[in-house]
Amino acid sequence: MIAEAGHFALILALLIAIVQSILPMIGATRNSRPLMDVAPMASLLQFGAVAIAFGALTHGYVTSDFSLKNVVENSHSLKPLLYKITGVWGNHEGSMLLWALILTLYGAAVGAFGRNLPPALKARVLSIHGMIGVGFLAFILFTSNPFLRMLPVPPDGEGLNPILQDPGLAFHPPFLYLGYVGFSMAFSFAVAALIEGRVDPAWARWVRPWTLVAWCALTLGICLGSWWAYYELGWGGWWAWDPVENASFMPWLSGTALLHSSIVVEKRDTLKGWTIFLALVTFSLSLLGTFLVRSGVLSSVHAFAVDPARGAFILVLLVMAIGGSLLLFALRAPALRSTGTFAPISRESALVLNNLLLATAALTVFLGTLYPLFLDVIGGDKVSVGSPYYNATFVPLMVPLVLVMAAGPMMTWKRADLTGVLMRLRLAFGGALAVALVMIIVTKGHKALAPLGIGLAAWLLFGTLRELAERIRLFQAPWQVVRNRLAHTTRAAWGMSIAHAGMAVTIAGITVASGWQQEAIQTLKPGDSVTLAGDSYRFDKVEPLPGPNYSAEQATVTVSRDGRTFATMHPSRLTYPLQRMTTADVAIHTDGFSDKYVVLGEPQPDGGWIFRLYYNPLVPWVWFGAIIMVLGGVLSLSDRRLRIGAPVRKAKRAEAGLAA
Amino acid sequence: MPPEPRSGLGRRLLFLLPVAAFIGLVAVFAFGLGHDPSALKSAMIDKPAPAFSLSPILEDRPGLARADLGGKPVLVNFFASWCAPCRAEHATLTGLAAAGVPVYGIAYKDKPQDARRFLTDLGDPYQRIGLDFDGRTAIDFGVYGVPETYILDRDGRIRYRYAGALTDAVLKTEILPRLEALAQP
């Protein structure tokens, strides 16, 4: 009964979405307030209906309603409650429903909080957003309905996959989707602006918070996903350039570019066409990523989608959303005129360079991900690209990006004095050079990339600090002035400095972790020791460890350095009798600077056990840095100017333009 | 952004570029919908097999790890119960195993119970079977899609890769001659 209510609510949501996409658009064209006012109401109702559907499916999972096919295939009565709930989105149908839930949540948020938007713009934005909703809800209802019943009702479910029962995996899809789907708002704003034929600083300021929310969530989602892969999969690495990771990384790259270019639109009233284009591309990449991963085209090109109807539906959706918006862009964007002009050396130019590099990076990942498919089409030699391709293309793009990243914020708008900026950065440059030299000495010149990466991280960090010091006139003005300037530094400015510093931390982590990882695979008998990176790991014993739905063997490994024991680690192997499946539970000892990472492998006939040990220096910094970036984003989001919206003067002009 | 062309037409064409690129992409996807690529050259040829350690899916059959490779030439076959071509090639593999060729299996992105059912229904040619649940090992091997079959030499090096379903003809022309050559001391 509850499942039928959910099914009905989903159909209702589709109908509301259809109304939401048609009426407000007509209203905005005819300047009819009643029709335009349908939009916020419909967006709230649509969210409510999808929330009911989602709640109904969750109810099915929690109560283990095995008359639902989706629950049978993906749940089990023995599952812990937490994983029954997270199991809702651990499968194709449920995750599409989560997608729709988050999509409508964003729509409802604009409907409820977008009071400072001009009514026509708001109506158009929500209408476009409604169209996306129509596409997705139709996709769910026609090809991926989670509410299908099953007869006869089986006694228990099939899905109790132990690998999927993990908090990291359970919680990273919602964040990833908050990010992915959040870019739908920027997309809707961009399409609405193209229809209105007007992009101005006020528009940029309205879009910015939505882009920022999506960016923060996506950063966190990617960070959680990478961390999960690191501690759960037991291969000692944290990024593999696999298609699933790339699918989330591409929108991150173009979303980062969008975040920066929209600043230029807001402050300088230029780069309009490009910013609109980035907004369209970012969400298009999200769509492409979601679907390519969902349909399996990337990991297995042999079948585009398991269900041909699904594949065809996906392609039609992509063509309508991406093709339609790009066509509109081609027709309307050339008419967008910029008022701001800028010299080749200026903050605008620095941001343009940032954008070009980020866009190229996104394109690089895009080509690498789809390379096998492209080559297949032209019938050439087919090679799958791996991490060597990305290392060879990505690093050269990131070097200039980071170089500009430190200098850009110190440049003035319109026209900057490059010599002056470089002079002011000489200390930062000297510091970075010194750090790089130290690295060359430490590595004895063996690792070329390490001094470069660490030097870049230092350059970015010192440059960011220098910019901050200059902003508050530290060491240059009396303390009262510094305090005053400190108090008047906007949260957006703080956010920028913090996010850039976070990037420096991540770069340092990536460089050291990939340059100095050490690994050992060895068979040990109880009492044996192995030395890795100066630490001695002694294998003491293996003990059985009973669990609720598994049996485990837990090893005790004592880690010491120079005879002093500093850690006891417990890697284990879990056997799930019901699935007849074994997983390894990695033991990680971290001190914030390096990780000791021990995996218990299989027992050997001679009484020994296979151990895999990794020494991962600075790897926690990869995620620390990402979290710092998110904090910067959140701080920037809390900036008062974003909450109160556009300056009054601009808002008035928008109203006037509407009345005309 | 590159400097914008001044002329109206050039500017319009510039803005049409993304649409054109997207149309090309759609064509590629449409092609991918109904196409089954076969012979693929792998970047992994003549490289040592990547490090991996996969848990077993059957009680009486050990899992598969990098350490198990080497010593003799073997076939490593990536399969999945959900993959139709894998079903098609299974009889060929079973025949090969019956002839005494060591065949190791890696179940790619498969549920263990499904993989077990697959083997119970169609027969089990594998001496060792590892479960590559998340597809990590497949990525390391450079797997493009299932089924794929690799020949590894006695040093554990990847010597040959065949993408797509094995047939008796492929065995005769591609697989067996290579295995024979590798078996020579």
* A297 pLDDT tier (thresholds 50, 70, 90): low
Give the alpha-carbon dihedral of A274, A280, A282, A288, to 10 degrees: -140
Identify all chain A residues contacting B65, using CB atoms and an 8 Å cutoff.
601-602, 610
Please tell me the predicted confidence (pLDDT) of residue B43.
Answer: 67
Specify the residue for token string 């007849």.
A580
> What's the rounded mean pLDDT across residues B89-109?
88
Please tell me the predicted confidence (pLDDT) of residue A385.
Answer: 61
* A440 pLDDT tier (thresholds 50, 70, 90): confident
Q: Do A579 and B12 touch (CB under 8 A)?
A: no
Q: Do B15 and A273 touch (CB under 8 A)?
A: yes
Please tell me the predicted confidence (pLDDT) of residue A130.
Answer: 96
Residue A427 to residue A130: CA distance in whole angstroms: 53
Q: Do B67 and A330 touch (CB under 8 A)?
A: no
Q: Do A299 and B1 touch (CB under 8 A)?
A: no
Identify all chain B residues contacting A612, using CB atoms and an 8 Å cutoff.
53
Q: Do A384 and B83 touch (CB under 8 A)?
A: no
Mean pLDDT of chain A: 86
Q: Do A582 and B63 touch (CB under 8 A)?
A: yes
Interface size A-B, in CB pairs within 8 Å, comes to: 157
Please tell me the predicted confidence (pLDDT) of residue A655.
Answer: 42
Q: Do B32 and A602 touch (CB under 8 A)?
A: no
Peptide bond into B147 cis (omega under 30): yes
Residue in chain B closest to A605 (alpha carbons) equals B62
> What's the rounded mean pLDDT across residues A601-609?
82
Identify all chain A residues contacting B51, using CB atoms and an 8 Å cutoff.
235, 519, 521
Q: CA B101 from chain center: how many Å? A: 19
Top pLDDT among A630 and B143 is at A630
Q: Do A376 and B32 touch (CB under 8 A)?
A: yes
Please tell me the predicted confidence (pLDDT) of residue A238.
Answer: 82
Residues A467/A409, Cβ–Cβ less than 8 Å: yes
What sign does the dihedral A203-A209-A212-A213 (CA atoms) show? negative
Residues A585/A557, Cβ–Cβ less than 8 Å: no
CA distance B39 to chain A (A): 8
Identify all chain B residues contacting A582, using CB atoms and an 8 Å cutoff.
55-56, 63
Nearest to B122 by CA among B151, B162, B95: B95
Please tell me the predicted confidence (pLDDT) of residue A647.
Answer: 44
- A450-479 pLDDT, tens digit each: 888 999 999 999 999 999 888 888 777 788
> What's the rounded mean pLDDT across residues A389-412?
88
Non-local (6+) Cβ contacts of A232 within 8 A are A163, A166, A168, A169, A586
- A228-278 pLDDT, tens digit each: 888 877 777 788 787 778 888 999 999 999 999 999 998 888 889 999 999
Please tell me the predicted confidence (pLDDT) of residue A164.
Answer: 66
Identify all chain B residues contacting A352, using CB atoms and an 8 Å cutoff.
1
Best mutation target among A245, A300, A315 (most B Cβ atoms within 10 Å) is A300
Q: Do A386 and B139 touch (CB under 8 A)?
A: yes
Give the alpha-carbon dihedral of A509, A515, A517, A521, to 10 degrees: 150
> What's the rounded mean pLDDT across residues A619-643?
89
Phi, psi of B181 (to 5 degrees): -60, -40
CA distance B94 to chain A (A): 22
Best mutation target among A165, A322, A384, A522 (most B Cβ atoms within 10 Å) is A384
CA distance B49 to chain A (A): 14
- A352-366 pLDDT, tens digit each: 999 999 999 999 998
Q: Do B12 and A334 touch (CB under 8 A)?
A: yes
Please tell me the predicted confidence (pLDDT) of residue A228.
Answer: 83
Q: Three-class SS of residue A314?
A: helix
Nearest to A595 by CA among A564, A562, A622, A556: A622
Residue A548 has pLDDT above 90, yes or no: no
Please tell me the predicted confidence (pLDDT) of residue B3.
Answer: 46
Residue A381 has pLDDT above 60, yes or no: no
> What's the rounded mean pLDDT across residues A46-53?
97
Best mutation target among A302, A317, A325 (most B Cβ atoms within 10 Å) is A302
Residue A76 to residue A161: CA distance in whole angstroms: 9
Closest Cβ–Cβ partner in A158, A273, A602 for B113: A158
Q: At what angle do helices A449-471 and A491-516 cross, to 10 degrees?
A: 170
Best mutation target among B6, B42, B55 (most A Cβ atoms within 10 Å) is B55
Identify all chain B residues contacting A370, using CB atoms and an 8 Å cutoff.
28
Closest Cβ–Cβ partner in A273, A281, A315 for B29: A315
Q: CA A113 from chain center: how many Å? A: 24
Q: Do A323 and B22 touch (CB under 8 A)?
A: yes
Mean pLDDT of chain B: 81
Nearest to A439 by CA among A453, A451, A424, A449: A451
**Is residue A510 exposed (0-12), middle (13-18) or buried (19+ Cβ within 10 Å)?**
buried
- B8-28 pLDDT, tens digit each: 777 778 888 888 888 888 887
Residue A189 has pLDDT above 90, yes or no: yes
CA distance B102 to chain A (A): 21
Residue A151 has pLDDT above 70, yes or no: yes
Residues A189/A125, Cβ–Cβ less than 8 Å: yes
Q: Do B28 and A370 touch (CB under 8 A)?
A: yes
Give the global pTM.
0.81
Percent of chain A's residues with pLDDT above 70 = 90
Q: Do B43 and A302 touch (CB under 8 A)?
A: no
Identify all chain B residues contacting A242, using CB atoms and an 8 Å cutoff.
135-136, 139
The highest-confidence range among A235-239, A517-521, A565-569, B113-117, by mean pLDDT, is A565-569
What CA–CA distances, in Å, run from A42 to A28, A96, A117, A127, B131? 15, 21, 17, 10, 47
Lowest-confidence region among A151-155, A648-652, B29-33, B146-150: A648-652
Tell me whether 0.90 is exceeded by the ipTM. Answer: no
Closest Cβ–Cβ partner in B1, B32, B109 for A352: B1
Please tell me the predicted confidence (pLDDT) of residue A443.
Answer: 77
CA distance A603 to chain B (A): 11
* A105 pLDDT tier (thresholds 50, 70, 90): very high
Residues A21/A133, Cβ–Cβ less than 8 Å: yes
